[in-house]
C-alpha cells in the first residue's frame, strides 16, 4: 500500500469515531477541541489518554504510547503494521455492508413463517424483542444476487464471508443476529453446524451499552439465553457468545463497580460451571463481585424459560447465587 492509499485510509477512519466504536468515552474536554479519557491500552484509573480529533492523533501520559489510527489498531488488536492496515481496510468496508445485509435479512424474516415458528419454539415471542435484537432470517440462495445487483463485487462478498468460495450464500436457513462487526447465524436445520459467525472477531459484549449502566449485570453465553431474559424484563443482561471471553469483553465487565451474575449453561459434563468458576475468580481479582447462578441440571437460561420458568423464579436463582 502506498503513502497516498494509507493517507486515504486514515482520512476515511477518523480516530475519534474508531475509538468510540471500540467503547472509548471522552471524559474531559481540553483546549483546541482535544479530549482526555481513560486509556484503552493499559489499566487506567485517571484519564491519561489524550485525543486530538483535528489531527487524528492520540497520546497516553500513562503508558507513553501515541500515534495515529493505524498505530492505535496495532496496539489495541496487538498486531503488526500490515495486519493493522488490513484490519482497518476491512473495518472501513465491512460496516456499511453488514448493515445492508442485516436489513435484508430482517425483511426476509417476516416472509418466512418457519423462522417465526423457530423463534416461538425457542421462547421468543415479543415483537419488541425481535426489534431490539434486529433479528433476521437467511433463507439462502438470495443474498448474493441482491448484493451484486446493488453493485457489491463478488470478491468483496467472499472476503466478508457472506458468500462461499464456490459462490453460494454462506448463511442458509439461519436465524441471524447482527453483532458489532459480525453476524451470528443459528441454523434451523439439525444437519448443519448450529452456530456460525463471519470471519473476524465476535466483537465486545452483546448490547453492552444498555447493560453497562446497571449495578448488577447478568452474563449469559448464548443469544437465545439473552433473548428470554430480556423478554422477561431483565434488561441488565449481556452475552459473551461462548464461555470464553475475549480481552475486550473482559475489560468491559471490569470497567466499573458492579456485581456480575454468571448464568452459564448447567451442562451435564460441568463445562459451563467450570468456565463460570474460572471467570468469577478472574473477575474477583479485578475487584468485581461475581456470583455463579445455579440453573437446574442440564438447563441453560433459554431452556429454563422455555420449560415454564418465569421471572420470579429466575430472580430467586439470582438471589441464591453464590460468590
- H helices of the chain, where? 3-12, 15-21, 69-77, 81-111, 113-121, 127-133, 143-149, 154-159, 208-211, 223-231, 247-253, 271-285, 301-306, 311-320
Q: How far is the CB of 60 from Zn ion (least distance, A)?
A: 3
Residues 13/22/45/31 CA torsion (nearest 10 deg): 30
Strand order in the sheet with 28-29: 28-29, 35-37, 49-52, 57-60, 66-67
Nearer to Zn ion, 60 or 218 (CB): 60
Nearer to Zn ion, 40 or 139 (CB): 40
Q: Do the bridges between strand 237-239 and strand 216-220 make them parallel or antiparallel, or are there none, so unpaired?
A: parallel
Q: How far is the CB of 34 from Zn ion (least distance, A)?
A: 16
CA angle 162, 164, 166 (to 5 degrees): 145
Nearer to Zn ion, 41 or 79 (CB): 41
Categorise residue 193: left if φ over 0, alpha if ψ from -120 to 50, beta otherwise: beta
CA angle 148, 91, 164 (to 5 degrees): 40
Q: Side-chain half-sphere of 277: how many Cα atoms within 13 Å? A: 7
Q: How far is the CB of 47 from Zn ion (least distance, A)?
A: 10
Nearer to Zn ion, 48 or 277 (CB): 48
Quick one: DSSP state of residue 262?
E
- Residues of this chain that interact with Zn ion (CB under 5 A) are 39, 41-42, 60, 62-63
Nearer to Zn ion, 63 or 97 (CB): 63
Q: How far is the CB of 55 from Zn ion (least distance, A)?
A: 18
Q: How far is the CB of 275 from Zn ion (least distance, A)?
A: 30
Cα 173 to Cα 88: distance, rounded to the nearest angstrom = 31
Nearer to Zn ion, 42 or 235 (CB): 42
Cα 150 to Cα 96: distance, rounded to the nearest angstrom = 13
Nearer to Zn ion, 24 or 105 (CB): 24
Q: How far is the CB of 76 from Zn ion (least distance, A)?
A: 11
Q: How far is the CB of 61 from Zn ion (least distance, A)?
A: 8
Amino acid at each position: 500500500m502506498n503513502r497516498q492509499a494509507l493517507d486515504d485510509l486514515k482520512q476515511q477512519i477518523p480516530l475519534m469515531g474508531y475509538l468510540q466504536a471500540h467503547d472509548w468515552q471522552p471524559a474531559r474536554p481540553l483546549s483546541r477541541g482535544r479530549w482526555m479519557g481513560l486509556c484503552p491500552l493499559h489499566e487506567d484509573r485517571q484519564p491519561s489518554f489524550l485525543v486530538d480529533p483535528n489531527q487524528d492523533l492520540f497520546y497516553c501520559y500513562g503508558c507513553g504510547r501515541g500515534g495515529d489510527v493505524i498505530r492505535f489498531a496495532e496496539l489495541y488488536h496487538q498486531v503488526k503494521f500490515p495486519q493493522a492496515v488490513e484490519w482497518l481496510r476491512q473495518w472501513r468496508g465491512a460496516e456499511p455492508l453488514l448493515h445492508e445485509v442485516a436489513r435484508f435479512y430482517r425483511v426476509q424474516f417476516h416472509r418466512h413463517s418457519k423462522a417465526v415458528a423457530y423463534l416461538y419454539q425457542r421462547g421468543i415471542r415479543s415483537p419488541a424483542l425481535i426489534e431490539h435484537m434486529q433479528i433476521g432470517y437467511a433463507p439462502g440462495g438470495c443474498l448474493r444476487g441482491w448484493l451484486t445487483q446493488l453493485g457489491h463485487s463478488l470478491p468483496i462478498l467472499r472476503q466478508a464471508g457472506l458468500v462461499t468460495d464456490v459462490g453460494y450464500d454462506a448463511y442458509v436457513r439461519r436465524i441471524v443476529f447482527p453483532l458489532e462487526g459480525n453476524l451470528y447465524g443459528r441454523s434451523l436445520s439439525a444437519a448443519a453446524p448450529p452456530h456460525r459467525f463471519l470471519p473476524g472477531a465476535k466483537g465486545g459484549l452483546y448490547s453492552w451499552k444498555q447493560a453497562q449502566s446497571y449495578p448488577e449485570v447478568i452474563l449469559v453465553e448464548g443469544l437465545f439465553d439473552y433473548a428470554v431474559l430480556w423478554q422477561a424484563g431483565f434488561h441488565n443482561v449481556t452475552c459473551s457468545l461462548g464461555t470464553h471471553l475475549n480481552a475486550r469483553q473482559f475489560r468491559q465487565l471490569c470497567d466499573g463497580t458492579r456485581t456480575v451474575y454468571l448464568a452459564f449453561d448447567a451442562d451435564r459434563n460441568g463445562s459451563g460451571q467450570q468456565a463460570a468458576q474460572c471467570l468469577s475468580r478472574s473477575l474477583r481479582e479485578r475487584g468485581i463481585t461475581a456470583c455463579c447462578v445455579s440453573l437446574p441440571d442440564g438447563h441453560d437460561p433459554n431452556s429454563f424459560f422455555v420449560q415454564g420458568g418465569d421471572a420470579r423464579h429466575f430472580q430467586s436463582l439470582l438471589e441464591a447465587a453464590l460468590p
